[in-house]
Homo-oligomer: A and B are copies of this chain.
Amino acid sequence: MLNFNYSIQTEIFFGKNKINKLAENVKKYGSKVLLVYGGGSIKKSGLYGKITDIFNKNEIKFFELSGVEPNPRISSVKKGIEICRENKVDLILAVGGGSVIDCSKVIAAGYYYDGDAWDIVLDPRKISKVLPIATILTLAATGSEMDAGAVITNLETSEKLGTGNKDMAPKFSILDPTYTFSVPANQTAAGTADIMSHIFEVYFSNTNEAFMQNRMAEALLKTCIKYGEIAMSDPTNYEARSNLMWTSSLAINGLLSYGKETEWSVHGMEHELSAFYDITHGVGLAILTPHWMEYALNDNTVNKFVEYGVNVWGLDASCDKYEIAHNAIKKTREHFASLGIPSTLREVGIKEEKLEEMAKQATVRGKLGSFKPLDAQDVLNIYKAAF
C-alpha cells in the first residue's frame, strides 16, 4: 500500500427531508448566497421553491446563476464570478448534478483570482483561496458533491479540462435520494456509468497490495450493477436511489484511491469527446470503457481482469485467465447495453475525421494512465475500435 494523507472534510446530510439542515449550515458562513442551477428542472420539481422559502424565512439573501450547461462552460463561470463580486457573496450553493457543482467550484476559486478565470482551469496552482461551497445533489453521477475537483469546458478552444484544490471540496452536501426520483432513465443510466467509470479508473491499478481498497471498489461496483437497472425501471425506488447516490460520493472522494497508484485514462479520452461534440459524459465513458479494457489487457494486466471477473461478475475462477478476462469485459459491455446506452461513437454523432485530432488533444499533457499508459496512437486505436 502506498503512503497517503487522508482528509475528507465535507459533511454529508443524507436522506429524506435533510434540506431541513440547510439554513443552519448556510448561516455558519454568512447570509448572502449565490444559488447556482441548470436548466430549471429544480423549478418544475418544486425544489427551487423549497430552497427560496427557507432562504426567505431565515433572512438569507440570495442571487442566482441559472442555465449552467451539462458540460459547464467557462463563460458560465465568469458570469458567476461577476455576480459574486458585485454582491459580496458569502457562500455558493450548487443545486443540481456534477455540472452545476463543478461550475460553482470554479466560480468560488475564480472569485479570488485576478486574471482570466480560464487560467485556474489550465493551472490549478494559481488557486490561492476559495469561497465556501455547499451542494444539494439532484443526480447521482460525478461525486463532485464530496470531492475537490471540477471539469470545465472551453468551447472556443475545444478544451475540457480538470482542475482542483482541497478548498474546493464542498463544506457540506445535502443528499436526499428523493430528489433523484425525477431523473429520466437515460440520465440515470449515464450517471451510473459515470460512477462505475470512477471506480474502474482507480480499481485497475498497478498497486495490487491495496487489497482492502480493491475489495471496497468491488463492493461499490456491485452496488451500481444491482441498482442502475432498478432505478431506471422503478424511478421512485428509494433503496436503489439511495444506494446509487451514496455510492456516487464514495466512488471518488478518495476512499478507493488512497494508498494506490491511480492515473486515470478513460476520463481523459472521454473529455475530448465531450469537448468536441458536447455529448453526455457518462455515455462517452460507457462506450469507451469496454474497448479500453480490451486494449489494456495483456500479460501484465490479465490477473487484474481475472480478479474483476471473478469478484464482480462471479465468473468461474478455474477457467483460463484470458477466457475470464474477455468474459468480464463482455459482461461489462452487455451491462452498459442493458442500461440502454449506445455502444459506438458513431451513434452519438461523432465523426471519424475528428478522431485523430481528439487523440492528440487527449494526450497533450502527456501519456494517459499508468495501468496501461496510452499515447496518442493508443488513444486513436481505442477511438477507432469504439467508432
Chain A residues in contact with chain B, CB under 8 A? 1-9, 11-18, 21, 177, 209-212, 215-216, 218-220, 222-223, 226-227, 238-239, 242-243, 246-247, 250, 255, 258-259
Contacts and interface: CB of A to CB of B under 8 A. Distances in A.
Contact of A3 (B3, B16, B211, B216): B16
B215 A219 contact: yes
Given A212-B247, A219-B219, A226-B211, A9 B12 contact: no
A9 B172 CA distance: 12
A300 B251 CA distance: 32
A211 B240 CA distance: 9
Contacts of A18: 3
Q: How many subunits of this chain does the assembly comprise?
A: 2
Contact of A239 (B21, B209, B222, B243): B209
Nearest to A21: B5
Contacts of A14: 1, 3-6, 258-259
B11 A7 contact: yes
A226 B210 CA distance: 12
Smallest CB-CB A-B distances: 8 pairs: A3-B15, A215-B219, A6-B12, A1-B242, A212-B223, A209-B239, A7-B11, A216-B219
A136 to B, nearest CB: 15
A5 B12 contact: yes
B226 A220 contact: no
Nearest to A177: B1
B258 A239 contact: no
A11 B15 contact: no
A223 B219 contact: no
22 contacts: A1-B239, A1-B243, A1-B246, A3-B14, A3-B17, A4-B12, A4-B14, A4-B15, A5-B11, A6-B13, A9-B9, A14-B258, A15-B259, A209-B238, A209-B242, A212-B219, A212-B243, A212-B250, A215-B218, A215-B220, A215-B223, A219-B219
Question: A220, A246, A255: which has the most chain B beta carbons within 10 Å?
Answer: A246
Question: A242, A247, A258: which has the most chain B beta carbons within 10 Å?
Answer: A242
Contacts of A227: 211
A219 B238 CA distance: 24
Given A4-B14, A216-B216, 9 more contacts: A3-B16, A3-B18, A4-B15, A7-B12, A14-B258, A209-B238, A212-B220, A215-B220, A219-B219
A135 to B, nearest CB: 14
Given A14-B258, A219-B218, A258-B14, A243 B211 contact: yes
Contact of A211 (B1, B210, B212, B239): B239
Contacts of A17: 3
A246 B242 CA distance: 26
Question: A7, A8, A212: which has the most chain B beta carbons within 10 Å?
Answer: A212
Question: A2, A6, A238, A242: which has the most chain B beta carbons within 10 Å?
Answer: A6
Nearest to A211: B243
